[in-house]
Amino acid sequence: MNSKELQGQLCVVGLGPGDDALLTQQVRASIASATDAFGYFPYVERLQGLEHLQLHASDNREELERACSALNLAAQGRKVLMLSSGDPGVFAMASAVFEVLEQACPEELARWQAVDVQVQPGITAMLAAAARLGAPLGHDFCTINLSDNLKPAQIIEHRIRLAAQADFAMAFYNPCSRSRPEGFVRALRVLQQECEPGRLICFARNVSRPDESLQVVRLEQASADMADMRTLVIVGSSQTRRVGKHVYTPRSYGVAAHA
Amino acid sequence: MNSKELQGQLCVVGLGPGDDALLTQQVRASIASATDAFGYFPYVERLQGLEHLQLHASDNREELERACSALNLAAQGRKVLMLSSGDPGVFAMASAVFEVLEQACPEELARWQAVDVQVQPGITAMLAAAARLGAPLGHDFCTINLSDNLKPAQIIEHRIRLAAQADFAMAFYNPCSRSRPEGFVRALRVLQQECEPGRLICFARNVSRPDESLQVVRLEQASADMADMRTLVIVGSSQTRRVGKHVYTPRSYGVAAHA
C-alpha cells in the first residue's frame, strides 16, 4: 500500500446528464476503484448494484453535511466518491466541498489535511442540451443559475439584463422548482424588456434520458410553464437561428467575412 | 442495411482537451463505427492507427471547406466524423457545419438533405481547467472567445466590461495567437479598469496533457505573456478565492445563509 492509499481520497466526479454513455473513461475508472460513494439520492441510485461500493445517499439540501461526512471517511484512508450530475464544478458539489474545507475548524483541518481532494469533469447539462439542439452556444455565452436559494433575485435579474446587453447566448440552470416557481417568470420578464420578440428560446428537459424533450419557441411565445426543475433553458443571442431542424449561433459577429 | 446506413451520417464529436480518459463512451462508440474522420491536423492525429478509418486532415482556417467535404462524403452513405477538440459546440466545428448547411446552394441542399447530422458533446477546455484548479466556475459565469478573427475587438471589450459589471467569473478561449497577440492585452486592460487588483486570474495550459501547467495570480500581477494559444484563462468573480492549493467560487452570493 503506497502513501496515497493510506492518506485517503475524495474524488468529486461528474456523472453527466443521465445517459451512462456520456460518462468519461476517467470517471468510470474512479467509480471502479472507489470504496464509497456519497450523493443526492437519484445520483447514488445510478451506482446501485456495484457491490464493491458502499453507498451513502442524502437529500438535496444537505450538501455541506454530505461533504463533511465524505471528508471524514476519506480521512480514514478510504477512496471516496462525491457524485454530481453533469459537471461537478457547474452549480454542483465541487464548490460545496471547498466551502466545507474553507470553513473547517482546527480539529477538522488537522483531520482532513492529508486527504487528496480531486475534481473530475463531466458533461454538464448545457453542453448536452446544446448538442441535441445543434450549436446554440457556438459563440460567446453565459451560464446563470436562476435559483434564488443562495443569491438575491435582484442579482439574477441584473445579470440577465447585462447578459442581454452584451448579446450573450444564455444557459439557465434550475429555472424553477416546486418551492420556488417564480425564478423563470422573473427571467422571462427581463428578457422581454431587453430582447426582440423573435429571439429563440430552447427548453431541453431530461436531456439524454428516455423521456427527453426539446422545444424551441420565439420569446413572444414563451411562457413560464414551459420550464420545470428538470429543464435546461438556452436563450439565443440576437444571431441565433434555425437551420432545418437545428438551432445554432454562428461563429462570426458583426463582420461579413468568414475564415 | 437499414435506411439510416444508406442515408449517411455526419457526427460532430468532441474529443475533450487532450487526455483520452476524458472521452465519453458515446464518442468512443462513434469513432469505432465510423468510416471517415475529418478535422484539423492535430485532432486527426489522435485517431492515427485506427485502421477502419479513412483520415482527412486539414488546416485550421479551412473549417467551411472541411464541413463541405464531410457533408459530401456523408451524402454518399458513409459514416463520417467531424472532429473537434473539447466540445464541438463551444467555439468549434458544430457551428461551422451549420453555417455551411445554411449557406448551401440548391444543388448542395438536395445532395445533403438526407444526411443525418448529429452533435455529440465533449469535455470543453474550461471544464477540464476548472476541475484541475478546484471549482472557479461554481457560480454564474460567462465564456468568451478572445480571438478577433470573426468579431470586432470592440465587441469583445464591451462584453468583458459588462461581464465584470455583472460579476461573472469568465473563461477566455483563444487568448492570443501568433498572428493576433493583442487579444489578451486588450482583455487585461478592461479587467484592470473594472476589477479590484486582488482579483484571481488562472492560466491553464495544455490541461490534461503531459506538459499541463497551472498558474494562479492576482490581477495586479498578471501580464500578457502568461497566456499563449494553448492557454485557457479563467478570471474569478469578486467572490473567487483560494482554499489550500485550490481556487473556488462559492455557491452563494450576497447572502450569509447556507442551504
Number of inter-chain CB pairs under 8 A, A vs B: 249
Alpha helices, H only, chain B: 3-7, 25-33, 41-45, 63-75, 93-102, 106-112, 125-133, 153-165, 183-194
pLDDT(A3) > 70: no
Q: Could you tell me if A162 lies within 8 Å of chain B, comparing CB atoms?
A: yes
Q: What is the pairing mode between strands B241-243 and B246-248?
A: antiparallel
Answer whether B137's CB lies under 8 Å from B169's CB. Answer: yes
ipTM here: 0.96
CA B135 remoteness from chain centre: 18
pLDDT(A1) > 90: no
Which of A101, A155, A252 is closest, CB to CB, to B253?
A: A155
Binning pLDDT at 50, 70 and 90, where does residue B257 land?
very low
Tell me which residue of A217, A210, A253 sits closest to A234, measured CA to CA. A217
Whose grid coordinates read 482583455? B187
CA B196 to each of CA A54, A146, B158, B236: distance values in angstroms, whole numbers, following the listed order: 46, 26, 18, 11
CB contact under 8 A, A152 and B259: no
> Average pLDDT over chain B, rounded to whole?
94
CA A128 remoteness from chain centre: 11
pLDDT of residue B180: 77
Tell me which residue of B30, B7, B10, B6 sits closest to B71, measured CA to CA. B10
Reported as a single tens digit per residue, the pLDDT across B31-45 is 999 999 999 999 999
Q: Could you tell me if A104 lies within 8 Å of chain B, comparing CB atoms?
A: no
pLDDT of residue A257: 42
Binning pLDDT at 50, 70 and 90, where does residue A256 land?
very low
The CATH homologous superfamily for domain B126-248 is Tetrapyrrole methylase, C-terminal domain (3.30.950.10)
Which of A121, A136, A138 is closest, CB to CB, to B123?
A: A121
Query: Which positions in chain A touch B88 (Cβ < 8 Å)?
Result: 131, 135
Tell me which residue of B156, B123, B167 sits closest to A139, measured CA to CA. B156
> Average pLDDT over chain A, rounded to whole?
94
Q: Which of A84, A145, A149, A159 to mutate to test the interface with B (most CBs of B within 10 A)?
A: A159
CA A224 remoteness from chain centre: 21
Q: Provide mean pLDDT across the span A150-169.
A: 97
Q: What angle do CA B76, B80, B83 make, to 5 degrees?
A: 150
Binning pLDDT at 50, 70 and 90, where does residue A169 land?
very high
Secondary structure class of B84 (helix, strand, coil): strand
Q: Which of B58, B150, B216 to mutate to test the interface with A (most CBs of A within 10 A)?
A: B150
pLDDT(B70) > 60: yes
Answer whether B11's CB lies under 8 Å from B120's CB. Answer: yes
Which residues between 231 and 250 in chain B have a beta carbon less than 8 angstroms from any beta carbon of chain A? 241, 243-244, 246, 248-250
**Domain coordinates in residue numbering, chain B:** 3-123, 126-248
pLDDT(B252) > 70: yes
| Distance from the A134 Cα atom to the nearest Cα atom in chain B, whole angstroms | 7
CA A182 remoteness from chain centre: 20
Q: Provide mean pLDDT across the span A161-179.
A: 94
Distance CA A60, CA B156 (A): 38
Q: What is the pairing mode between strands A36-40 and A54-58?
A: parallel
Binning pLDDT at 50, 70 and 90, where does residue A255 land?
low
pLDDT of residue A61: 83
pLDDT of residue B181: 79
| Distance from the A3 Cα atom to the nearest Cα atom in chain B, whole angstroms | 19
Q: Provide mean pLDDT across the span A164-168.
A: 98
pLDDT(A2) > 80: no
E strand or H helix that includes residue B36 = strand B36-40
Nine cell digits for residue A53: 461500493
pLDDT(B6) > 80: no
Q: What angle do CA A244, A249, A250 make, to 5 degrees?
A: 100
Secondary structure class of B138 (helix, strand, coil): coil
Q: DSSP for A209-222?
A: STT-EEEEEEGGG-
Q: What angle do CA A104, A88, A227 make, to 5 degrees?
A: 120
Reported as a single tens digit per residue, the pLDDT across B144-180 is 999 988 999 999 999 999 999 999 999 999 998 777 7
Which of A149, A243, A254 is closest, CB to CB, to B152?
A: A254
Provide the strand spans (E) within A85-230.
116-120, 134-135, 141-145, 169-173, 200-205, 213-218
Reported as a single tens digit per residue, the pLDDT across A190-232 is 999 999 999 999 999 999 999 999 999 999 999 999 999 999 9
> What is the architecture of the domain spanning B3-123?
3-Layer(aba) Sandwich (3.40)
Distance CA A210, CA A227 (A): 18
Answer whether A203's CB lies under 8 Å from A223's CB. Answer: no
| Distance from the A52 Cα atom to the nearest Cα atom in chain B, whole angstroms | 22
Reported as a single tens digit per residue, the pLDDT across A176-195 is 877 777 899 999 999 999 99
Which of B101, B131, B141 is closest, CB to CB, to A120?
A: B131
Query: Which positions in chain B touch A114 (Cβ < 8 Å)?
Result: none
Say yes or no: do domains B3-123 and B126-248 share a fold: no
Reported as a single tens digit per residue, the pLDDT across A7-58 is 899 999 999 999 999 999 999 999 999 999 999 999 999 999 999 999 999 9
Q: Could you tell me if A107 lies within 8 Å of chain B, comparing CB atoms?
A: no
Which of A28, A95, A244 is closest, CB to CB, to B249?
A: A95
pLDDT of residue B255: 67
